[in-house]
Structure 1
Amino acid sequence: MYVGVDEAGKGPVLGPMVTAAVRAEPAILPDDVDDSKRVAPERREAIAAELRERDDVAVAIATVEPEAIDAPDTDMNTLTVRGQARAVRGAIEPGDRVVADAGDTSEERFARRLAAFVREGVGGDASGRALDVAARHGADEDDPVVGAASIVAKVARDARMAEIDADYPTYGGVGSGYPGDSTTRTFLREYVADHGDVPDCARRSWSTCTDVLAAAEQSGLDDF
């Protein structure tokens, strides 16, 4: 048995990053499990629900909120590996190995750090032996258990974005939260125009927020 782990929402300007771990035998997973980006939204939700309902599958989720992402004493690579480690600790059993979608340019470094952070959280590791961790770029595409984790993470992230959207009913939606989404950028501009600052759901350290705040300040100076 092994645990696959992946994250969703590393790059958006709104909302949390969500990491998910799935413990399962590959043979019992749906045949169409894949990288979440290659699975239709409705099917992603159905797969995630099925995985959560099965007694022979373990699912664990960890979130990294905007406040943590904005902290000056960290970086996204560290937040990603720590988030994945938290999710793994919620699913791992003694003797399991771990396969991760690498969140670093160096697969070896990511695997090494992930193993260290998992051991840190379980007092050595779940089995008392050296933890077997592999990390690969594209593991969510070629490993079904990592693909399942990517789907669970994406569905959980989408659910959080729906909650965030509901928190701002007077605006025309918050969009996907990604900087390239025109709905997201419009929401940020309108919110800043109304409140003079970005909303709590925003990663204020992202350049998108910096640009929106700077544009609003310049507009105010021009009006003056």
Structure 2
Amino acid sequence: MDYPDFSLELSAYGHGASRVAGVDEVGRGPLAGPVTAAAVVLDPDKIPDGLNDSKKLSAKRRDVLYELIVAQADVSVAHASVEEIDEINILRASHLAIERAVQGLQSVPDYLLIDGNMIPRGLEIPSAAIVKGDARSVSIAAASIVAKITRDRIMRDLANQYPGYGWETNAGYPSKSHKAALQNLGVTPHHRRSFKPVHNILYQG
């Protein structure tokens, strides 16, 4: 398995940066729940072994790495709500969550490595958009782990309040059972009304 490394961060250091944050978000595709972003500034001398794209790690390994990241790095997590997603669209909402995560860091970073192909327009810090960044940069990989763990925990909590939708396992994504539950149980306050499967149920006929 190929692992991300610290080369993009070192390149930024070489151009005068001293605090480089990796940034990633999770939760664009679900029908329910917030979109969540994390920003992480790793200590170059305390980089946990085995950092990788959160989707390539087992749940157990993610949990172990999450605890190490939170203990050893400057970490900030932020969200955009379902209401914000419906009001400004999921892309802008995900960018809003990213902007909030960066603003929440203990110290302002001087360079950002952002997963994806777009830089949120609200960021005023020099940034690079890195396609498949969570497989290339350990800082982005760390952010992907933190964002996923945090959002999954939120969806498990919501699953206890609204049983039957399977959020404890599908995290709000449009699984077959989740879509069936929408039809059978109806729309909750945590569903994204601007998303087609939810919108169609609310306004069918």
TM-score, normalised via structure 1 length: 0.76
Q: How many percent identity over aligned positions?
A: 31
Shift of 1:206: 0.4
> What's the secondary structure of 2:123's corresponding residue?
helix
In structure 2, what is the Cα distance between the partners aligned to 1:98 and 1:167?
A: 37
Preserved CA contact (<8 Å) 1:89 1:118: no
Partner of residue 199, structure 2: 210
- Matched ranges for 1:1-224 at <5 A: 1-26=19-44, 28-54=46-72, 57-71=73-87, 74-91=88-105, 93-94=107-108, 96-102=110-116, 107=117, 110-111=118-119, 113=121, 117-119=122-124, 131-169=125-163, 171=164, 173-174=166-167, 175-176=169-170, 177-179=172-174, 181-192=175-186, 198-213=187-202
In structure 2, what is the Cα distance between the partners aligned to 1:143 and 1:22?
A: 11
Paired residue total:
185
Q: Which runs of 5+ in 2 are unaligned?
A: 1-18
Preserved CA contact (<8 Å) 2:165 2:182: no
Letter matched to residue 162 of structure 2: Y
Structure (1 or 2) with the larger CA radius of gyration: 1
Preserved CA contact (<8 Å) 1:3 1:92: no
Q: Which runs of 5+ in 1 are unaligned?
A: 120-130, 193-197, 219-224
In structure 2, what is the Cα distance between the partners aligned to 1:111 and 1:203?
A: 24
Task: Give the stretch that moved more between structures: 77-86 or 2-11.
Answer: 77-86
> What's the secondary structure of 2:162's corresponding residue?
coil
In structure 2, what is the Cα distance between the partners aligned to 1:185 and 1:31?
A: 38
TM-score, normalised via structure 2 length: 0.82
Preserved CA contact (<8 Å) 1:26 1:144: no
The 3 A distance-change label for structure 1 pair 140 and 27 is farther
CA deviation profile, 1:20-54 (whole Å, cap 9, x unmatched): 00011355222211111111111112211221122
> What's the secondary structure of 1:4's corresponding residue?
strand
Shift of 1:211: 3.2
